[in-house]
Amino acid sequence: MRAQAGRNLPRYLTGYHCRMTEDKGLELARKFCGIARFDRYLTDTGGDFGMALSLCKWNHRFAGVLHEQIGYVEICVRNAIDRQLKSLALAETGYKDWTNPQHMPDLVSKTVKGQIRQARDLAQQEKGTSRREITHDDVVSKLMWGTWSKIVGNAETTEKTEQQQALWRAAVSGAFPNAPQNEQGRLSVARNLAYLRSARNKAAHFDNLSTVSKHKRRVINASFYLLSSVDKSFTHGWFDASVLRAMSRERQSILQQCPNEGNVIDDTSRESANNMV
């Protein structure tokens, strides 16, 4: 998509970018963001540079909102699984610190031993020259979202997920007492974790989040499913679906302001109401 050339930038842009021609603004935006990344915003706005710039900046704000809201779910899931694995380690080894190689339950070792080792290394590096020994909580804080997803496993009942199926039966299902405790429950939790992880990764890399915005109900449904599966009261006071809805409306408002409105993609007509549960 090529921006309309040779004009001064429209009045709705304020600050630095309003003091240059559109050609110069486009050149700098592509240099700053990358051609492929910024041109996606041009496509979404029918080639209007000013609106594309507004959409680009909206994208960065939305990434922050996604980080915040999905972060609440990650914290909840992490601590719920941690509690259950502590109980498993205590029953199996007599100690609760399941991230300690000497006290690690067999199924945990077979599933995420490598990830735990990397987290311990990171915790050790952060401790530096301090004489304080790293704790279980230090290690847990360094485990990535992907580790918790791997503990639950992929949403498939195959040989690839045999360890996760066994770990679910032995401990992890207890982290989600309001979800089915059988394999169907594991599959549902896995699907929702996978979707939120994908959305979070896109936000972390500041990828174009138009699809996530259009499918905001999937983010909301997946988040509420996981939170309520841990504790139904957790659907209140933490995750705020209204913030996601407001950001999605802001994107639609930007698109509706485009002078070339006939060439603009209409989000409202394509929003998905898919439920991840």
- The predicted structure's pLDDT at residue 20: 64
For residue 68, the enclosing domain spans 62-263
The owner of tokens 């997803």 is: 149
Does any domain span residue 277? no
- Concatenated DSSP letters of the chain: --PPPS-BPPTT--SGGGGSBHHHHHHHHHHHH-HHHHHHHHHHTTT-HHHHHHHHHHHHHHHHHHHHHHHHHHHHHHHHHHHHHHHHHHHHHS-S-TTSTTT--HHHHHHHHHHHHHHHHHHHHHHTT--SPP-HHHHHHH--HHHHHHHH--S--SGGGHHHHHHHHHTGGGG-TTS-SSHHHHHHHHHHHHHHHHHHHHHHTT---HHHHHTHHHHHHHHHHHHHHH-GGGGTTT--HHHHHHHHHHHHHHHHT-TTGGGS--SGGG-------
Does any domain span residue 5? no
Tell me the average pLDDT of the chain.
Answer: 87
Q: For residue range 154-200, what is the model confidence (pLDDT) as tens digits?
A: 999 999 999 999 999 999 999 999 999 999 999 999 999 999 999 99
- The predicted structure's pLDDT at residue 1: 47
Does any domain span residue 56? no
- The predicted structure's pLDDT at residue 15: 52
What average pLDDT does this structure show over 111-132?
Answer: 90
Q: For residue range 40-82, what is the model confidence (pLDDT) as tens digits?
A: 999 888 888 888 999 999 999 999 999 999 999 999 999 999 9
Q: Is the pLDDT of residue 273 over 80?
A: no
Greater model confidence, 12 or 153:
153
What average pLDDT does this structure show over 103-124?
Answer: 96
- The predicted structure's pLDDT at residue 245: 96
Q: Would you tell me how many other CB atoms lie within 10 Å of the CB of residue 162?
A: 12
Greater model confidence, 254 or 259:
254
Does any domain span residue 29? no
Please state the domain count of the chain: 1
Does any domain span residue 119? yes
Q: For residue range 132-147, what is the model confidence (pLDDT) as tens digits?
A: 889 999 999 999 999 9
pTM for this prediction? 0.84
Greater model confidence, 4 or 213:
213
What average pLDDT does this structure show over 100-117?
Answer: 97
Greater model confidence, 17 or 191:
191
Greater model confidence, 103 or 258:
103
